[in-house]
Amino acid sequence: MRSILTYIAVVSLFFFNSCEEKIDIDLNDSDPRIVIEANLTNEDRNQEILVSRTVNFDSPEFDQVDNASVVVKGSNGRNYTFTHAGNGLYTNNNFFVNTQITYTLEVSVDNKTYSSKGTMVDYVEIDSMGVTKENIFNEDYYFVNLKFEDPKGVPNYYLYTVSINDGPFKFNAVQNDKFNDGQVVTHQIGGRNDEFKVGDKVKVRRQIVSKELYTYWNEYQLTNPGSAAPGNPTGNISNGALGYFGISNVRDYTVTIADADDDDLE
């Protein structure tokens, strides 16, 4: 079977209720592989983990895994069992993640266990937020700008998803502080999926993530969509599973796009 692009199952449930983004995966007639998508945050107590299995391109349906055992264990001795909610989705509605606690994910499917570890790092607060308009090739484009001071001497990784007019959150960008450690930084967020328009209500979800989660999404954003075989983003789950496990510190910021140089932060 020739190598060809396809999509992993139901990635629209990314970030517990957040990101509707399809991940390009290079699949063929090889043995199916488990795909785990788990980004737990301190947004609220409702956490979701998606478990699926890769399928061949000519398969009529994606393969959600509905017989998995999913548990997250904290270094504080508390265990959190996730209950199957259908279509490969596993949920726990009373799990608030905390900084400085190491969490271990264990997913068991057909007598094989896949595991990973993660710790939530401190949040990096922003100082201000605004909207700018730029004319590019005689077309006006709007950008949301977040200004902040990057903590000096600490590697920091930032992930952004965006919701427009209360729609689903979609992946926008990841950033790191390799070249601006300890400096005052502005992250400019544009319309990666849909351009921002005057009157749009834009909600930016800013997550401080681990290096591993940054690496996964950075490889995704650098992938050329026209490539015949872009390969799978580097995950951090054992036993050959695809996907990711992350513990993210998160805040949401909302602005309304106006035909002016800036907007106030909500």
Model pLDDT for residues 244-263, shown as the tens digit of each residue = 999 999 999 999 998 654 44
Q: Which of 161, 131, 129 shows the shortest CA–CA distance to 146?
A: 129
Which token pair is 125?
Answer: 């607060």
Half-sphere exposure of 132 (CA within 13 A, CB side): 12
Backbone angles phi, psi at 219, to 5 degrees: -65, -40
Which token pair is 193?
Answer: 């999926």
What does the pLDDT read at residue 225?
Answer: 52
What are 205-214's pLDDT values in tens digits?
Answer: 999 999 999 9
Q: Which CATH architecture has domain 128-208+252-256?
A: Sandwich (2.60)
On the question of pLDDT at 21 being above 50, the answer is: yes
pTM, two decimal places: 0.81
Which token pair is 70?
Answer: 């999913």
The residue ranking higher by pLDDT, 224 or 213, is: 213
Q: How many percent of the chain have pLDDT more than 90?
A: 71
What does the pLDDT read at residue 23?
Answer: 53
What does the pLDDT read at residue 3?
Answer: 31
Backbone angles phi, psi at 216, to 5 degrees: -60, -50
What are 118-152's pLDDT values in tens digits?
Answer: 999 999 999 999 999 998 888 899 999 999 999 99
Contact 208, 157 (CB under 8 A): yes
The residue ranking higher by pLDDT, 9 or 183, is: 183
Q: Residue 232: CB partners within 8 Å, gap ≥ 6?
A: 25, 26, 242
Determine which of 20-24, 83-87, 115-119 has the lowest per-residue pLDDT on average.
20-24
The residue ranking higher by pLDDT, 12 or 171, is: 171
On the question of pLDDT at 28 being above 80, the answer is: no
What does the pLDDT read at residue 29?
Answer: 53
Which token pair is 188?
Answer: 């400019």
Q: What share of the chain is helix, strand, coil (3-state, %, to 5)?
A: 5, 50, 45
Pairing of strands 34-41, 242-256: parallel
Which token pair is 112?
Answer: 């094989």
What does the pLDDT read at residue 232?
Answer: 82
Which sequence spans correspond to the domains of the chain? 4-121+210-249, 128-208+252-256
**Average pLDDT in the 81-90 region?**
97
What are 146-203's pLDDT values in tens digits?
Answer: 999 999 999 999 999 999 999 999 999 999 999 999 999 999 999 888 899 999 999 9
Q: Which residue is associated with the tokens 């548990």?
A: 71
